[in-house]
Every structure is written in C-alpha cells, then in structure tokens.
C-alpha cells in the first residue's frame, strides 16, 4: 500500500495527497509533517517510532480540514478507493479523483454565498497581457487583455481578488507577481487544450493574448477537476474601457467591500447597499460596485428600472418575495455538471423554476419597457420543473444511497419492486397458508435466518406429510428444514428488491439529472437575469429605507450635490445625527477644493462621501442626497492616509509618494481625485512644497486638469485661491468656547488658519496635565518664533557691518577648507570667529 501511495504521490508532487484508507484519509512522509502542522492534528508514525510519518483525518470531517488547507494556499489531491474492498484482489485500487485548490472549490460549505471565488490565468502575446477569470462554482467565465505592465495587471487582479492565479513559467512578470500581498496562491503550469473545448475557444475573436490566458485556465481546470466542465459554456470579453477604473488603493481607501481597520464586510459600502434576497444578486451587486458604468444610456437604463420599482410598491414586494425563494441557480448548475447534485438540490431547483413564470408575469404586467425586457430574457423551464415534480418526492433524503427518492407512479418496475419489498411478509404469510392447506401440516412454518435465508420448518411428527417437491436444507433434533423452488423465488424477489430499488432509483435519478444538464445554459441565463433583478430591487429598497434621490448623469465635468451624506456613516450614527453638505466641483472655477480644518472634524468623511455618491450614481443606484448631478468620472483616485509597508521596506512617506506618483501619471481631466494630507510624511517645508506643486500640476489643463478634493493642515496653501483660477478654499466649521471646541461637521467657504491640535487632543481624552503643559510649550514656541525673527534681523545687520568694516574677517572665512579640517579644528575656528563677532 505504501508503494501504491508513493507511485500516486510521484504524479502529484505539488499537492498534499489525502490517501483513503478505510474510514480515514491519511498523509504520509513529508506530507504528514506539513498536514499535521497546518491542521493542528497529531503526527504519529506507521510501524513504530522510527517508521513512516503519518497523520490522518476522518472521512466524514473532510470538508472541515480541507477548508483549513485551502485557506493556507495548499493544493490537495483527493485519492479515493475506486473499487469495493470486499471484491478487491490484493491491494484495493485507488486513484486521484479530484485536485482541490483555492480557486477550484465548488462546495458551497466552503464558500461565502454572496462572494465569487475567482481563479485567474495570466499569459502574454507580443506586448500584450491576457487575463482570464473563472468562478468554478458558478460557471462565470470572462477574459480581457491590455498592456503588458505590472501596474495594469495588478490593477485588474486587485479588482477581482482571485484566490488563485496560474501563469506559465515563462511569464515575464512572474517574480513581481509573487510579491503581491493580496493572499493569492500563484502556480506555474504548462498545458495544451484538448479539442473538447474548441467551441468555447471559437467565441474568442482577435484577442490573441486573451486566448492564451483562456487556454491556460481551461487546461488547469481539466487537469485538476477530472470531471465534466459543462457549466463552462460561455465566455465573455470584458472591455475595461466601458467601466470606471478602480485600483486596489481606491477600493480599500473608500472601504467599498471591506473596512480598512478590521477587513470586515460590516461597515463597508457594500454592507449598507446590499438589500439583495439571493446569493446570485449578492454576487452581482459586488461586481457592479467594482465596475461602475461610463455609458450614460446604460446607467439610465438601470435607474429607470429602479424608478419603476419605486413607483409600484406592491410589485417590488412581490418580486422580492419570489426572488427570496429561489435557490442559488449558478452554483446548482455547477453541481449538476460535476454530478454532485443531490435529491434535495433538484427539489430546490424545481421550486425555483416554478417561481419564474410568476416573476415573468409580474414584470410584464408592470407595462414598463425596461422591466418587460428583463422578463423576455427569462426562460420558462416548465417541462424540466414537471420532470422533477413527477420524479422526485417533495421531501427527499440528502443522499441517493438510502432510497426513498423517486415518487410512486414514476416508474412501474420500481413500483413493483417497492411493493414486493414492502409486502414481503404479507406474501410469505400467504405462501405459508397455501402450503399448510396443500400438505395438511398445520404446524408448518416459513422462517428466516441470515445463514440459510428463508426455509420451511416441519416437526418430525409430520414428516410423513412432506411432499416430494420439498428439498431438505437442515436437520434438527425435533424438526427438518426444507425449501422449495417457489420459496427460493420469493427469497430472491424479497431480498433482491431492496438492492434493486437502490440501483433503479439511482438510474432514474441520473436520467432526471441528465434532463437538467441539457438545460444548464437556460438555468445559468435565468440566474444572470434574476441576479440583475435582485440588484435593482435592492437599489429600490435602499432608496426607500434611506431616503436616497435619483441622480442626473451627464457627460460634462460638473459634480453638483445638494445636502449630500456619507452612506455608511449616516447608517452608523443615524440619519438625523448626520450633517449633510453641498458640493460643487468642475474643471473650471471649482476644480481644486482646498479643505482645511482640525483633525476629527470630518474632512476625510466629506471627501469620501463625494466619491461614494459619484460611484453609486454610476452603478445605477440612487444616492444619499437631496439632489445630485454627476458628470461621468472615468477613475477615482485616493490618497487618504498612509502606513509603513514593511513587507516591501517602504516608509510612510515612500508609500504616500508612490501613490501620489500613480495619480499624477494616470489621472485624466475626467478623473475625480481625493488627496488627504499630502506631504505630511516629511518635514514641513518639504511637505508643503510637494503639496503646492501637486496642486499646480493638477490645475494645468495640458497636464491633468482633474477635479480634486485636497484636504490639508498646511494653511499656507489657502493663498493659492488668490493665485490660480480653479482653486477654492473650504473649511470645516468649528465652534470655539473658552478653551474648547465643538465640531459642526459642516463645510463652509473660506480657509482655516488654525489646526486646533491641542483642543483635539483634549477631546480625545489626553490627560489634563499634558494638555496644560502643551499650552505652556506652545506659548514658549510662539514667543521664541518672534525672537528668532528679531535675531535673524540683527544677525543680518551684524554681517552687513562685518562686510563693510572688516574685509579681513570675510577673507578669513573664505580661506577655511571645510573638506580638510577635523571636527575639533572646526570647533576651535568657530570659537575664534565668535570672539571676533562679539568684539565688532
């Protein structure tokens, strides 16, 4: 058996091999050491202390342990027994039936219902990079291609956050990809596509780099899954120019999907706007959120459908009720293709399909063109629903092994077998009575045991009445046991019925499953449409619950928001407690808004809310404001807060400047830029210089000319309003009373000349002695600053005096060779010069 393990392991060296032995999956040798540590289980050994390292897990707990290994990035080969051990001659035959990797998981117990689990493939052709993405659990498959650069590849990967990335070993940027800190498993593969996938590949036209990536992905799936990939029947091309470009920094800083601090969904924008009823809708909403539209017609198409849902509250309620009863059709389709679907899944599918005609009818009755168009895209699968309805009992067991799955009346042969099995005792009782009558043996009994099966027992006093047709089976002290040809037939019928029932039910179940497989494309299509409808219902519900308004989209450069609110903050503190603010941005007089004010007053909140309102408008959602006019934005850039990137050896300031460089290189006049405290990571004068230079660069129409919100503590930058057209000063209103301040959280025109740092420290709970001492020190510094200015003036007068009256002194300074003197010599020279100055 160990030799068998070694042979199989040699074929899967890059995997942890889970080797089925009875009721356990076992790992041996180095795999055992790795697995024991990763799974926190005991490491033992086979054949004593110095034997082969061994670690094992129970088969019934495979999913739990498999999830742990996948989360740590391991590839796992599942090696099962592929023949009945009772019938095996010698070592039972074993094969790897599946290779499970972080990106190939289809088990819904290991996945988040409302999250995709993408796997990515990277390839190149010429100077272009091809990227292909697949969610193996749903069948969603798409590709794109673009410039072969780490920056562009990183931006796309960061958007979809695949759990696994596969590349060829020759990929030129492989080493850089390995430095990505996005928790992505990266594997090198080289493979060739079989002819089975040619129809899929024929869908790819004129995208050579994209085609190479798709091939790589298909090969990897075929190699690891060792199963049908029928759920991968359509592949879409994603034109990145159709969507707002969001990089990882902006996605993270705006907390679109998860929070910065705890990396949790709760507290993110997604958590606030997600009112979806289904897993399909939840996944679709996340994709929409990360891919805001640029085409006004498409955006308005979504907004108009939300309009229609808002106008008919009963329609909205009925649609949400129906969608909430629909199973995850995408992941169900994959289970059908992989033949892992169970009877309960098919009943769930039937119940889901039976809701589709009702949804279609609701949409058509709305008499709204856009909603009717959605209805027309839905496929009625009444025939398939009827097959499942007629074939599967309404409350089946989870597995097919125990029987009781197929409905009575669906198959006559099965009905007869079930009748035989259920009425076996009755049939035997009838046979016993018949034999008693025929033979005249009143004490004759039909009995059963596991050794002899069914037999007829006759006491010795009645042996003379036993017919010749009885065949002796066993002799006892007081009786004889016999069997007959008829009894043997009954035995075969009764004992074989249960086994035949299980086998026939399985065959019938497979027939029904095949009927589902034939409709897999229609099921996936319905899933896509229902996901969209669920998102639109979510937008309508959100608008009602949170009092959002319909935005007006335009192709000009103006963003005008009346009483805008931060969608997440207002949810946290309550809408009544949130202070709304107006915004006016354009590429003319209001291009750069310089926002000053103390920390904690709300500068970052205000900036983010403008970005979030813009983004929500471009996904076709209503927005938290009284009014909103949004000029289409092609990218949102954020530079809001920085931290040391220790993994790559970058300081806070280096991270800050890297992000600023990215913005200045890639922003266009259609971009929206959020810059918060640029330059704070270095000295005041350096930081202020960089901040002002960045503003001037952003203002230049031939350079960028982008709409920018610029929050700063450098109050000197407020002077730019007088120097440049397009700069406007705003500040956060603060109410002062005695030595305390109250944040009013409202934006007002005009700059602020104070940061209120000590007052903020007091609000934050810094102890009173520290606050008092801070005030004392501040007074000294301010006085010292005045003195230094006076000293500076005096020193200038002295040097003027020296210059006029003591040329010898000047010459002496000029003759000093600072490159050759020692520190001690320099100190002596300085003392002499000081004496001369004092004597002047």
Angle between helices 369-377 and 356-365 (to 10 degrees): 160
Count CB-CB contacts under 10 A for residue 658: 15
CA separation for the pair 724, 698 (Å, rounded): 12
Backbone angles phi, psi at 333, to 5 degrees: -60, -40
Angle between helices 329-337 and 343-353 (to 10 degrees): 140
Q: Which residues contact 167 (CB under 8 A, 6 or more apart)?
A: 121, 122, 123, 174, 177, 186, 187, 188, 189, 216
What are 593's two structure tokens?
A: 């808004």
3-state secondary structure of 673: strand
Do residues 557 and 602 lie in contact, with contact meaning Cβ atoms separated by under 8 Å?
no
3-state secondary structure of 76: strand
CA separation for the pair 235, 255 (Å, rounded): 30
Query: Where would I find the H helices in 326-368?
Result: 329-337, 343-353, 356-365
The torsion angle over the Cα atoms of residues 201, 205, 211 and 217, rounded to 10 degrees, is -40
Angle between helices 329-337 and 279-290 (to 10 degrees): 110
Scanning the structure block, which residue is given the tokens 């959100």?
A: 542
List 472's β-bridge partners, or say none.
Answer: 482
Which residue numbers belong to the known binding site?
A: 597-604
CA separation for the pair 160, 758 (Å, rounded): 43
Length of the chain: 840
| Cα three-residue angle 639-705-732, rounded to 5 degrees | 50
CA–CA distance from 636 to each of 273, 739, 769 (Å)? 19, 39, 44
Scanning the structure block, which residue is given the tokens 């503003």?
A: 695
3-state secondary structure of 377: helix
Which residue numbers belong to the known binding site for ATP?
A: 597-604
Count CB-CB contacts under 10 A for residue 613: 26
The H-or-E segment that residue 36 falls in is helix 29-39
Backbone angles phi, psi at 523, to 5 degrees: -65, -45
Which is nearest to 126 in space by CA: 146, 144, 142?
146
CA separation for the pair 528, 288 (Å, rounded): 13
3-state secondary structure of 225: helix
CA separation for the pair 654, 646 (Å, rounded): 11
3-state secondary structure of 245: strand
Count CB-CB contacts under 10 A for residue 40: 8
Count CB-CB contacts under 10 A for residue 47: 9
Which is nearest to 155 in space by CA: 137, 129, 175, 135?
129
What are 768's two structure tokens?
A: 């009173």
In a 13 Å sphere around the CA of 681, the CA atoms on its Cβ side amount to 19
């Amino acid at each position: 058996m160990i030799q068998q393990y070694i042979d199989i392991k040699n074929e899967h060296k890059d995997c942890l091999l889970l080797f089925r032995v009875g009721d356990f999956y076992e790992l041996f040798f180095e795999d055992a050491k790795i697995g024991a540590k990763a799974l926190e289980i005991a490491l033992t050994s086979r054949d004593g202390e110095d034997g082969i390292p061994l670690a094992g897990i129970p088969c019934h707990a495979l999913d739990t342990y498999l999830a742990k290994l996948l989360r740590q990035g391991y590839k796992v080969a599942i090696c099962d027994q592929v023949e009945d051990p009772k019938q095996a001659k010698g070592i039972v035959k074993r094969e790897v039936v599946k290779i499970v990797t972080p990106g190939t998981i289809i088990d819904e117990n290991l996945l988040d219902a409302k999250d995709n689990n993408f796997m990515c493939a990277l390839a190149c052709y010429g100077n272009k990079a091809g990227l292909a993405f697949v969610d193996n659990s749903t069948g969603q498959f798409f590709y794109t291609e673009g410039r072969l650069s780490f920056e562009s590849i990183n931006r796309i990967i960061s958007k979809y956050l695949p759990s696994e990335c596969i590349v060829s070993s020759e990929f030129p940027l492989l080493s850089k990809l390995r430095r990505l800190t996005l928790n992505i498993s990266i594997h090198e593969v080289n493979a060739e596509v079989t002819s089975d996938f040619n129809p899929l590949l024929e869908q790819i036209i004129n995208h050579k780099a994209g085609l190479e990536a798709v091939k790589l992905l298909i090969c990897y799936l075929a190699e690891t899954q060792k199963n049908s990939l029928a759920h991968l029947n359509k592949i879409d091309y994603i034109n990145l120019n159709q969507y707002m470009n969001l990089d990882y920094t902006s996605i993270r800083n705006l907390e679109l999907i998860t929070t910065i601090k705890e990396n949790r969904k709760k507290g993110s924008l997604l958590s606030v706007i997600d009112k979806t009823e289904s897993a399909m809708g939840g996944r679709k909403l996340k994709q929409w959120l990360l891919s805001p539209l640029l085409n006004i017609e498409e955006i308005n198409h979504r907004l108009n459908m939300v309009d229609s849902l808002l106008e008919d509250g009963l329609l909205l309620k009925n649609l949400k009720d129906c969608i909430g009863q629909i199973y995850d059709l995408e992941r169900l389709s994959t289970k059908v293709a992989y033949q892992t679907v169970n009877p309960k899944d098919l009943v769930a599918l039937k119940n889901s399909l039976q809701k589709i005609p009702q949804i279609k009818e609701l949409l058509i009755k709305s008499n709204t063109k856009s909603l009717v168009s959605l209805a027309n895209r839905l496929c009625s699968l009444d025939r398939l629903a009827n097959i499942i309805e007629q074939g599967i009992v309404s409350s089946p067991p989870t597995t097919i092994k125990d029987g009781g799955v197929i409905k009575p009346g669906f198959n006559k042969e099965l009905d007869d077998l079930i009748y035989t099995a259920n009425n076996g005792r009755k049939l035997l009782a009838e046979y016993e009575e018949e034999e008693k009558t025929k033979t005249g043996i009143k004490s004759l009994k039909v009995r059963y045991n596991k050794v002899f099966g069914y037999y007829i027992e006759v006491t010795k006093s009645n042996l003379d009445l036993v017919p010749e047709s009885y065949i002796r089976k066993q002799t006892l002290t007081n009786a004889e046991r016999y069997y007959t040809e008829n009894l043997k037939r009954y035995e075969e019928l009764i004992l074989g019925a249960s086994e035949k029932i299980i086998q026939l039910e399985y065959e019938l179940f497979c027939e029904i499953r095949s009927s589902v497989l034939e409709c897999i494309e229609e099921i996936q299509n319905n899933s896509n449409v229902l996901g969209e409808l669920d998102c639109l219902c979510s937008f309508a519900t959100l608008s009602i619950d949170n009092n959002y308004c319909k935005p007006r989209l335009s192709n000009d450069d103006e963003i005008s928001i009346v009483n805008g609110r931060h969608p997440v903050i207002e949810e946290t503190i309550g809408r009544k407690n949130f202070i709304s603010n107006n915004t006016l941005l354009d590429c003319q007089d209001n291009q750069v808004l310089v926002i000053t004010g103390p920390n904690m007053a709300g500068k970052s909140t205000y900036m983010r809310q403008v970005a979030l309102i813009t983004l929500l408008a471009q996904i076709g959602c209503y927005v938290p404001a009284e009014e909103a006019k949004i000029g289409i934005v092609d990218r949102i850039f954020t530079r809001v807060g920085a931290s040391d990137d220790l993994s790559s050896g970058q300081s806070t300031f280096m991270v800050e400047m890297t992000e600023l460089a990215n913005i200045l290189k890639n922003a266009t006049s259609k971009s929206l830029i959020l810059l918060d405290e640029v330059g704070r990571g270095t000295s005041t004068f350096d930081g202020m210089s960089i901040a002002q230079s960045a503003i001037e660069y952003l203002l230049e129409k031939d350079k960028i000319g982008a709409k920018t919100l610029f929050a700063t503590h450098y109050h000197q930058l407020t002077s730019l309003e007088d120097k440049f057209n397009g700069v406007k000063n705003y500040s956060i209103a603060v109410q002062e009373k005695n030595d305390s301040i109250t944040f009013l959280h409202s934006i007002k025109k005009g700059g602020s000349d104070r940061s209120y740092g000590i007052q903020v420290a007091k609000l934050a709970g810094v102890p009173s002695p520290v606050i008092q001492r801070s005030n004392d020190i501040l007074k000294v510094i301010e006085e010292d600053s005045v003195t230094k200015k006076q000293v500076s003036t005096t020193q200038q007068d002295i040097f003027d005096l020296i210059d006029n009256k003591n040329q010898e002194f000047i010459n002496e300074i000029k003759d000093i060779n600072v490159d050759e003197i020692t520190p001690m010599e320099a100190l002596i020279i300085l003392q002499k010069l000081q004496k001369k100055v004092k004597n002047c």
